[in-house]
Amino acid sequence: MGFCRNRHSLQAAHFICLFKTNFFQMKLFIFCAILFLGGIFHSIANPFLPLNIPGQTHSGYISERKIPNGFILAEAGQVAAILIAEDDHPGLTRVAGYFQNDLYNVTGYRPELFVGSVSGRQNVVIVGTIGKSSIIDQLAASGKINVAD
């Protein structure tokens, strides 16, 4: 006997299956349309959004002018090198690569990425994990950086 005894039962089962498939496709289409329209709205509204949001100023950290004892991340076609320790987490190399790409996208110059040590560089960004990076731990032990916070 089976599931479908006659032609009408088979047609009804086929209709239900089509309805479920089309309903899923319709939900997927609506979801994609919302994402697409949200992206369009964001890209149109983005130039009109305020740049200075109250409570989110970085004036104490970032400057477009040279300041005494300041760290220069990028200047006149030069960007600071990036250094990570060999004994740090393997995923940190990927994160340092993302940072390298960000600096390239902003400045147009790709900083060098060093693993282990670097010599002959004036400005170096050290990326590391407290307790895992020998470079960070050595700087903390010598009192050159504060890792208490």
Same domain, 42 and 85: no
For residue 104, give the CATH number of its domain.
Answer: 3.30.379.10
Residue 10 has a pLDDT of 55
Residue 73 has a pLDDT of 81
Work out the number of other CB atoms within 10 angstroms of the CB of residue 82. 20
Same domain, 34 and 87: no
Residue 126 has a pLDDT of 85
Same domain, 85 and 133: yes
Question: Are 74 and 110 in contact, with CB atoms under 8 Å apart?
Answer: no
Same domain, 79 and 44: no
Alpha carbons 124 and 68: distance in angstroms, whole number: 17
Question: Are 138 and 85 in contact, with CB atoms under 8 Å apart?
Answer: no
Residue 8 has a pLDDT of 53
CA-based R_g, the chain, Å: 28
Residue 54 has a pLDDT of 46
Residue 103 has a pLDDT of 86
> Is residue 63 included in any domain, yes or no?
no
Alpha carbons 107 and 92: distance in angstroms, whole number: 22
> Residue holding tokens 């693993």?
115
Phi, psi for residue 119 in degrees, rounded to 5: -135, 155
149 residues of the chain, pLDDT tens digit each: 455 555 555 555 555 555 555 666 667 777 767 777 776 666 665 555 544 444 444 555 666 777 787 788 888 878 888 888 888 888 888 888 888 888 888 888 888 888 888 777 778 888 888 888 888 888 889 988 888 87
Question: Are 18 and 26 in contact, with CB atoms under 8 Å apart?
Answer: no
Residue 91 has a pLDDT of 86
Range of the domain at 20: 7-48
Residue 6 has a pLDDT of 55
